[in-house]
Chain A
Amino acid sequence: MQDVTGSASPIAVSVRDVGMVYDGFHAVKSASFDLPAGKFLTILGPSGSGKTTLLRLIAGFQAPTSGEIVINGKAVSAVPAHQRSIGMVFQKLALFPHMTAAENVAFPLKMRRQDARTIPERVERYLDLVKLGGYGGRRIHELSGGQQQRVAIARALVFEPDLLLLDEPLAALDRKLREEMQLEFRRIQRELGVTTINVTHDQREALVVSDEIIVMDAGEIQQKAQPTRTYRNPQNAFVANFIGVTNFISGAVRSVAGSNAVLAHSAVEIPGIVGDERNPPRAGGQASGAIRAEQIRIAANARSLSGLDIVLEGSIRDAIFEGERIVYEVCVPALAGEALRVFDHDPVDHVQFEPGAAVSIGWNSRDVLVFNN
């Protein structure tokens, strides 16, 4: 696979056709990807999609039933977990409760028989890195959730591993702290340049912290791309649906010309772009047009939407004020009464429409991605 980021850094992790079967159940199906050194990769997917399984295979806690994992050019199937140079932050942190924060961080150094005289200084440096300088003497249960998180990160990084694995370590934190820690991850990762694989089901986290995102579903990799690409050019309907708020308008394919396709729903023709070039819609078949809620404009009358390719009349079914935006559900008679979700990102200046109000909505055809059903 090509290094899409364009950098010349060597491949740190190469996962080749890796599969994992638990008595007949395929938790991971033939996953393949390369990760260049120093990059931050996030594996994103719904619960049960095989993210943790894939991470455990890379860490060496389990052996894959098929395929091969190569770390820094070396196939590691025969290397037990404790001999792989991989730092891991567990979902439940797995800090040692009978040790202090400093002892926890010193543990991997001791296991690697580092010179006892250099350990305290090194531990202090990494505690400083995660902003826990001076907390080394605390017992684990004397630290807050966020501080424990930081100890776990310091412990996973202190031995300068080739690879850092994060298994949803932020899932248990409240939103504010989670967002703070996401940025912290990013900062530390940039500072140390350590290759990182992060697992999450939080799409926002994936977009914020990653150089690359792998979207997984049902044990299969759906897409691997940079965050902006994943968001703007989802490769299939699953990715389009999983990331962001997306409306799907299904209909018959009227015509396909190059990368343009036209869908027909009821009496409306909806032009769009072919979403997945490898699996393009065919004229006469069924397909879905995917359009994001923020790409649909909403106004009191059609005149203010005159620049848009498609303009339809509708009525408000529901309006939800979310602070930084208003989410409308708009019922569109022309689309056989289908409801579309529409964002208004200017809730302060704009008047909020009440349920039942007649509105116009519109969008540009280049924002519609057409996927085969």
Chain B
Amino acid sequence: MRAARTAYPLTWRIMDVLEAFAAFVWPTSFRRAIPYLLLAPALLLVGLLVLGLIQIGDLSLRTLDTSTFLLSENYTLANYRKALTEPLFVVVATRSLTGSLIVTVVTLIFAFPYAYLMVRTRSAGLRKFLLIALFLPFFIGQVVRAYGWLIILGNQGMVNEALGLIGVAPLRLLYNYPAVLFGLVQYMLPFAVLMLAPALTAIPEELETAAASLGANWVHSFIHVVLPLARPGLVGAGLVVVTLSLTDFAMPAILGGGSQDFIANAIYDQFFRTSDQGLGATLALMLVALGSLLVGIVFTLFGAGTLAMGRARQ
């Protein structure tokens, strides 16, 4: 009985039932349509997104009439002009862009050794510990986590209290640029590690052993073998981190305390504080454009193939 069960696992039986059901509702003559059917949900979602984008594009071309608080009927490029010339928006855009780049670089530097250790360690216990330590913050969520940092880094927070014990005057650790970047790095680390781990697993350990036998110390083996082969993972992780931090809202809002707005915060202000939906839509579109530009640059620099997409060349 046991042998029979292992030779024909439960998953296969479930598949059999599903296949019989599929054959019932979807006769074989329709089979050619299946690929398109499977594509349909994705196309539907993308279609909805495009519709939303058109709506936003429409909004972005109307200005707010401050006397009636209604959007103008006629189309104008005034919002775009404003977005590109108003010093505040330029500052916010620059801050978001440099911030996301710094966060990406720092996150990758922190995530790489973490992922490497997690993949290569011989100790199953250590691997489990690293995985749990990675996932735990995931369950907490971004906003709660940011509030946690408020408690830890605040003027009466744990850090300042500890510093007080050794006679250091309270430091202003919150509501500044480094605080936002710190929060973002901490938030992005799990994403980066999760993107890097499969890429590192794909590098046979024997390649590093071979490099050692050919005279490479670990630094050389890292630079010449591990790093180039981990490029798909680095590019993928970098893309995820850069887009997520460029568009982030909670960290700048909470850890920046209103003084360190990113683009998403500015958009929020336009929609829900000033109620200038036109300008908000313009900023949103420009954020989309900026993000696409970044992704486009990465793809032209490294090629889509670096993301391990496309057919594997064997």
Q: Is A145 an interface residue (CB 8 A)?
A: no
Q: Is A155 an interface residue (CB 8 A)?
A: yes
Contact B206 A111 (CB under 8 A): no
Contact among B204, B212, B228, B313 for A81, CB-based, below 8 A: B212
> B residues within 8 A CB of A108?
214-215
Assign chain B's interface to a size class.
10 to 19
CB distance from A285 to the nearest CB of B (A): 44
Residue of B nearest to A112 (CB): B215
- The answer for the CA separation of A273 and B27 in the assembled complex, in Å, is 77
Contact B213 A82 (CB under 8 A): yes
Known: A98-B228, A98-B229, A111-B220. A59 touches B213 (CB 8 A): yes
Contact A111 B207 (CB under 8 A): no
Residue of B nearest to A113 (CB): B215
Q: Is B217 an interface residue (CB 8 A)?
A: yes
Contact B229 A107 (CB under 8 A): no
Q: Is A159 an interface residue (CB 8 A)?
A: yes
Q: Is B85 an interface residue (CB 8 A)?
A: no
Q: Is A325 an interface residue (CB 8 A)?
A: no
Q: Is A88 an interface residue (CB 8 A)?
A: yes
Contact B216 A94 (CB under 8 A): no
Contact A82 B217 (CB under 8 A): yes
CB distance from B241 to the nearest CB of A (A): 23
Interface of A is mostly: mixed
Interface size on A (CB < 8 Å)? 25
Known: A107-B224, A111-B220. A94 touches B215 (CB 8 A): no
> B residues within 8 A CB of A204?
none
Contact among A59, A84, A94 for B207, CB-based, below 8 A: A94
> B residues within 8 A CB of A87?
213-214
- The answer for the CA separation of A159 and B225 in the assembled complex, in Å, is 19
Known: A94-B204, A98-B228, A98-B229. A88 touches B217 (CB 8 A): no
Q: List 25 A-B contacts (CB under 8 A).
A: A59-B213, A61-B209, A80-B217, A81-B213, A82-B213, A82-B214, A82-B215, A82-B217, A87-B214, A88-B210, A88-B213, A90-B206, A90-B209, A90-B210, A94-B204, A94-B210, A98-B229, A108-B214, A111-B211, A111-B220, A141-B313, A141-B314, A155-B214, A156-B213, A156-B214
Chain B interface (Cβ within 8 Å of chain A)? 204, 206-207, 209-217, 220, 224-225, 228-229, 313-314
Chain A interface (Cβ within 8 Å of chain B)? 59, 61, 80-84, 86-88, 90, 92, 94-98, 107-108, 111-112, 141, 155-156, 159
